[in-house]
Chains A and B, each alone.
Chain A
Amino acid sequence: MKEADLKSLIHRIGAGEKNAIEALYRHMEQPLYRFINIKLNDPFLSADILQDVFLDVWKGAAAFEGRSAVKTWMFSIAYRKVIDVFRKNARLTISDDLPEQVDDAPSAVAHIAAAEDAAHLRICLDGLKPDHRDAIELAFYEDMGYREIAEITAVPEGTIKTRIFHAKKLLLHCLQGRMNAKVAL
C-alpha cells in the first residue's frame, strides 16, 4: 500500500470510518506486532500493546497532520508504548557492548559468507541489545531509512547510523566467535 493510500485511510479514520481502521489494521497489524513482540517477547502483552496502538490511531487520526509517513507515525506510537512497558516494569536490558577491536577486515566477511546457513547469524541477532536490534529490524526487515528510524526511536539520525554500524560489528564478532568455536570442536 502506497503512502498516499495510507494517508487517505488515516483521513477516513479521522472522519470516523470504521472500515478504514479495519483496512489499516489488516495492512499494518503484522509488522507492528512483530516489532512489539520482538522487544517484549510476550505475545499477550504484545497483543494488548497492538490494540492500544490502533486505538490511539483511531482517536488521533483526525489530528494527524501528515508530517511523518503513516508507517513511521504508527511505529513511533508502538515504540513509545513499549518503552513505557519497559519503564513501568523496570525491565533489565542485557548489554551487548564489546571491545572496539573487532576485526572489520575482509576476512571477517569471508567468515560470514562461509557460514553453512544463517542459523549462527540468527542467534547473534537475538543476542543484540534492544537498541541495536531495533535499528537492525527497522532497517533490514522494514527497510526504513535512517531518518524514519530516528523519528520512531526519538534519537538523532547520527545515532541510528552509529547503532547499525556497531550492531554489524557486534554481529561479526559474535559470528567469528561461533565459527572459531566450531573449528575448535
Chain B
Amino acid sequence: MSEQVDRQHILELLPFWVNGTLSPEERGMVEAAMEQDPTLRQEAEMLALIRATVKEQPEMQSPGELGLARLRRVIEEDPQQVLDGRSRARRYILSFSSGLAAALALLAVLGNFRASEDVYELASSSDDAANIVVMFRPDVTQASMSSLLQMHDLVIVDGPSAIGLYRLSPLDPDTDLALLAGVLRSETEIFETVDLP
C-alpha cells in the first residue's frame, strides 16, 4: 500500500520533473524512483512528448502593437482613473451621439448588428468628424498595417471593437478626410471597409 502511495506521488511529480520546476529535493526523489522503476522513465518520456506537442502548437495572432496602442491611449487619457476596457466601451456608446447613426448603419451593412446590450461601439473622441472607421482584412500583417498608417500619417485612436472596427485619425487636422478615405479604399489588400462617420 505504502509503495503504491509512493509511486502515485512520484507519478504526480513527474510532469514537473519534465518541465524542470521541482525543488532539488523533489527532483532527487523522482530520479531515484526512476532508477528503481523503468516504467516511470517511460512515463516521463510520454509526458515529454505531450509537452513538446503543446509547445509546438501554432502561435495565436495576438493584438500586438494594436493592443498596445489601445492600452497606451487609455492610460494617456486619465492615468489616475483608468476605466476598464469594457466599461469604457459602454460609456462610449452614450457619448457617441454624433456618429452613432452612421456607426449603426455600418454595423447593419456588415451584417453584424447585435442586441443593444451587446453592442461594443468604438470610442468617440472629442472630434468624431476627424476620424475614419475601418476594418482591416483578417489576413493583413501588422507590418503592412503599420507601414500604411505611417505612410498616411494616421494613428489608431480606438479599436478594435467587438466586430473588429478601428478608428483612425490623421495627425494633420487639415487633412481632407474624404480624399484620404478614398485613398484608403483603394488599399483593398489592407482594408475590408473604410467609412467616414
Contact = CB atoms under 8 A, between A and B. Distances in A.
Contact of A51 (B46, B54, B56, B70): B70
A86 interface: no
B57 interface: yes
A152 interface: no
A43 B79 CA distance: 27
At the interface, is chain A mostly helix, strand, loop or mixed?
helix
A18 B72 contact: yes
A144 interface: yes
Nearest to B61: A43
Nearest to A145: B21
Interface size class on chain B is: 35 or more
A49 B67 CA distance: 11
- Among all A-B residue pairs, the 4 with the closest Cβ atoms: A145-B21, A161-B12, A33-B62, A140-B51
23 contacts: A21-B75, A22-B68, A29-B63, A29-B64, A33-B62, A34-B60, A44-B163, A44-B164, A50-B67, A51-B70, A51-B74, A51-B85, A52-B84, A55-B84, A121-B53, A125-B53, A139-B51, A141-B57, A143-B19, A143-B21, A146-B21, A164-B12, A165-B15
Interface of A: 16, 18, 21-22, 25-26, 29-30, 33-34, 37, 43-45, 47-48, 50-52, 54-56, 58-59, 105-106, 108-109, 112-113, 118, 121-122, 125, 136-137, 139-141, 143-146, 148, 161-162, 164-165, 168, 171-172
Interface of B: 11-13, 15-16, 18-22, 39, 42-43, 45-47, 49-57, 59-64, 67-68, 70-72, 74-76, 79, 82-86, 89, 120, 160-164
Given A22-B68, A141-B54, 5 more contacts: A33-B67, A50-B67, A55-B74, A55-B83, A165-B12
